[in-house]
A = this chain, B = another copy of it.
Amino acid sequence: MRSRHHALITVACAASMLTACGTGPVPTTLPTPAPAPATVSVPAPTRIAIAHAIIPRPASVMLVEGSIFVVDTTTMVVVAPGAGAEVERIATYVLTLLGRPPATAPRRLVAADTIPARSIYLRLSDESTLGDEGYRLDVTPSLVTITARRPAGLFYAVQTMRQLLPVSIEHPAARNRALRIPAGVVIDAPRYAWRGSMFDVARHFLPLDDLRRHVDRMALYKLNRLHLHLSDDQGWRVEIKSWPALTQVGGSTQVGGGAGGWYTQEQFAELARYAAERYVTIVPEIDMPGHTNAALASYAGLNCGGVTPPLYTGTRVGFSTLCVASDSTYRFVDDVVRELAALTPSPWFHIGGDEVEKLTHDEYRAFIERVQGIVRSHGRRMIGWGEIAPATLDSGTIVQHWKTDSSAVHAARGGKVILSPNKRAYLDMKYDSSTILGLRWAGLIDVRDAYDWNPAEQIPGVEERSVMGVEAPLWAETLVKAEDWEFMAFPRLLAIAEVGWSTPERDFEAFRQRLAAHGPRLAALGVNFFRSSQVPWW
């Protein structure tokens, strides 16, 4: 919010599959839209104002100094006829972003040869080579053209455009907003398909509105998977209609003994829809066979002894397990997977599988394999924490690495791995020794620790081709209110977003400068972020 000199810094151009930037002509993998009223003239090499810092760093950014596109009340958002409902919805999203009620704001459907000047034009093109999430953003003083092969790419281009707009874009009712976009070209596509944030809503319950708000913030930083840890010893957080006590009993408390809470199926499905419109997939996790005390306390039949244990509000791990010898356990798993799979378009189902201390290795492996079959029978790919890797897994099953494990075994059989190394990506670790919230068993993780690593060099035997992507888990033993989750997630989640999206070059100095420029934006969004001393915040 403070005025500053907008220092110009050089942004490293990424050596990507797209093009070398600053060393040649503008990439032309995409045709320039037919009626572009002005030719984009890009000087090379280029420099970018830090005010226009983009996170995650795009593959290629070339901005024209001193040349801008001005958004005003006459600016139209334009789509071609027949562009489809999804592109239409993104156009509406752009109007909302610009602070205009969609009902009254100018928006036009136009034929491709009649694009009016001073428009923001969204177009899909099969000619694009930028993949399902890539995009090209062309800004001239008279036209913004966004091209992508799929709607997700258009959406991400809009997020880049949003970051190129001043912070006042986040305050739609502010007066005298000078909405200017620097002219130039951004060409971009993600490194990994999986760029995830995990929230533990089991140890403490988090209301739906707060999850919705988190989805919005994820979208700004091009994160696309919200993994919800929906059950644990201390709580069961989503309604299962065929097993109602799971929430009525198991959802009634949380760490420390508060009232807990849960999502109805309708709420959960609504969240999944909301997220999908922002290109975020809600990935449900029901942790099993351990971390199940809330379920065991709800149904005697899930316990081998047939006796329900009391509800648990402490923070120990490893003491609970479903009765893996009982057929009713697998009927339970089948019901849970079936009901939850129907609520989200997620092709994945996360079965947890971590920290089981009450079973033999053989019992554990047999359980995981049988559950894998159940998940497969519902048309979903199974995900499990690293402990599942030694079991006989389908190559389509995904292993989520969090500590030393056998994920290389899974990579060797052609399987994919999600990287969540606890010393880099565990957002429940304290930033430094003075952080009140969080834990420290995996060490202190300040911004640089979260940023300075390469997912393809983390585990011997798990190389680029085996890496599905990255995810930052946030466990909630010490978190009570949404602002606590925010404090631990931000700004480290932006570092993880860049690790997942951008090419592997890590220039922390450049990153911290860009991150500093995002401080006012995070504040404008109301994010209660940690002002790390590693970052020269504006």
Contact = CB atoms under 8 A, between A and B. Distances in A.
A7 interface: no
Which has the most chain B C-beta neighbours within 10 Å: A2, A204, A431, A482?
Answer: A2
Which has the most chain B C-beta neighbours within 10 Å: A204, A255, A435?
Answer: A435
Contacts of A99: 256
Nearest to A477: B173
A434 B530 contact: no
A387 interface: no
Contacts of A104: 257
A486 interface: yes
B103 A173 contact: no
B173 A478 contact: yes
Interface in A488-530: 523-526, 528, 530
A173 B1 contact: no
Nearest to A176: B436
B480 A437 contact: no
A361 interface: no
Contacts of A171: 436-437, 478, 480, 484
A173 B479 contact: yes
A104 B313 CA distance: 12
A6 interface: no
A34 interface: no
B480 A173 contact: yes
Interface of A is mostly: loop
Interface in A168-185: 168, 171-175, 177
Contacts of A434: 1-3
A167 B437 CA distance: 11
Given A257-B104, A484-B171, A523-B528, A435 B479 contact: no
Given A101-B257, A257-B103, A523-B487, A175 B439 contact: yes
B175 A101 contact: no
Q: How many copies of this chain?
A: 2
Contacts of A433: 3
Contacts of A478: 171, 173-175
A84 interface: no
A157 to B, nearest CB: 24
Contacts of A257: 101, 103-104
Contacts of A487: 523, 526
Given A3-B433, A167-B436, A526 B528 contact: yes
B530 A172 contact: no
Contacts of A525: 483
A252 B257 CA distance: 40
A258 interface: yes
Interface string A423-438: 0000000011111110
A465 interface: no
Nearest to A168: B436
Nearest to A433: B3
A433 B16 CA distance: 42
Given A437-B174, A528-B528, A256 B101 contact: yes
Contacts of A482: 526
A28 interface: no
A24 to B, nearest CB: 39
Interface in A412-463: 431-437, 439
Nearest to A177: B436
A273 to B, nearest CB: 18
Interface in A303-337: none
A173 B256 contact: yes
A23 interface: no
A486 B479 CA distance: 21
A439 B167 CA distance: 17
Contacts of A523: 487, 528
A533 B2 contact: yes
A164 to B, nearest CB: 17
Interface in A81-104: 99, 101, 103-104
A530 B1 contact: yes
Contacts of A432: 2
Interface of A: 1-3, 99, 101, 103-104, 167-168, 171-175, 177, 204, 255-258, 431-437, 439, 477-484, 486-487, 523-526, 528, 530, 533
Closest 9 CB pairs of A and B: A483-B526, A101-B257, A3-B434, A173-B478, A168-B436, A526-B528, A174-B436, A174-B478, A173-B480
30 contacts: A1-B431, A1-B530, A2-B432, A2-B434, A2-B533, A3-B433, A3-B434, A101-B256, A103-B257, A104-B257, A171-B484, A172-B256, A172-B480, A173-B204, A173-B256, A173-B477, A173-B479, A174-B436, A174-B478, A175-B478, A436-B524, A481-B526, A482-B526, A483-B525, A483-B526, A484-B526, A487-B526, A523-B528, A526-B528, A528-B528
Given A2-B434, A174-B437, 11 more contacts: A3-B434, A101-B257, A103-B257, A104-B257, A171-B480, A173-B479, A173-B480, A436-B524, A523-B528, A526-B528, A528-B528
